[in-house]
A and B are shown apart, each in its own frame.
Chain A
Amino acid sequence: MAEKKLMYGNHAMVEGVIAAGCRFFAGYPITPQNEIPELMSIRMNEIGGVFVQTESEISAINMLFGAAAAGKRAMTSSSSPGISLMQEGISYIAGADIPVLVVNVVRGGPGLGNIAPSQSDYYQATRGGGHGDYFTITLAPNSAQDLYEFPRLAFELAEKYRNPALILADGLLGQMMEPVEFSSKPIDPKSLPEKEWALCGCKGRERRVVRSYDLKAGKLEVLNLRRAEKYAKIINKEQRFKTEYCDDADLVIVAYGTCSRVSDAAVKMARDKGFKVGLLRLITLWPFPMDVLGDMAKKVDNFLVVEMSNGQMIDDVKLATECRSRIYFHGRPGGGVPTPPEIYKRIEEVLGGAR
């Protein structure tokens, strides 16, 4: 076992990105993710990578478009208002079928909001976010270890499906310190295979064009239908989640990220008090793990959705369970973070004397 290091989540992410073979970072400072560009500027310099502090998030996402179109692993990070600015670029990148990694360390919104942790960018992340028919693979870490490991997974999925991938963290995960184990051997970017679509000069081959448009009659429809097939494949194969105590549960909490950590503690409190409560922690938000929820809905009567928002993921839970079960909600919008006791209280309210 490798030595464990106590690290900030944001720092663990940087090391994870580098271990994943990424050598290009472009970004613009915004709290609460500033530790990422700060450490990136040092680390990229040490290892011969590229770090660009851009004039805006718009520029950052387009530099990513360029670097990734050149066939390289490239990432940017930002927080909610900055991610909104990037949506134009993300839409183009999705339209050009280029794999990139975008990290959103979510903060309270709308508008300038605040710098407290939040999950209110769920809709934006899981519905595409920009204009047009597309989805972005969205991963939800809940520990510093995840922040270290998920960049590699994100790049692998992004490249496998030629699609942008998002990591949806939040201020709490980024600012929290936890032990991190550098669990896997770092990838040497030179060992990654050349992409058969990458722009690198047309020596010895046909010229290549990366574009997100097709104005010829009917062509875009064909392209988008092909993309729909890709999305169907991702939905089929890549739903990721973890269950805990769900087998005999009268109530299952559905949560991701920070809320899944807090809910985990609430579940343990409830089990100690004799309530049969389980936890479904979602790892992919798109594709949404609807199959497991659909199965659970056949035997679980109650679901409690916990989110740091006014309720966004709850829509997907309702769709996945086809409203066969009762769906309850506990939300903390605007930077509020739920505590284990308040979630436990909600469990008590729902289950009442059912212990």
Chain B
Amino acid sequence: MPEVKILEEVCKGCGLCCDNVCPENILILTPDRINSNGYHPAMVTDMKKCTGCGYCFKICPEPAIEIYK
């Protein structure tokens, strides 16, 4: 079962990974959390659906995403 880890302090909340990137559409920007740089980091809404395809990682400029399997 793959697992996505968002490095919340590295994420700049650009939202590239949240827009038509995830085939399962399980990434959103956190509405209620702000990191120390003032960004709303991305988060996974339903980890069980993740297939570990890595698309979110590939589009992430930082990279603030790690995927484990």
A and B touch in the complex (CB under 8 A): no
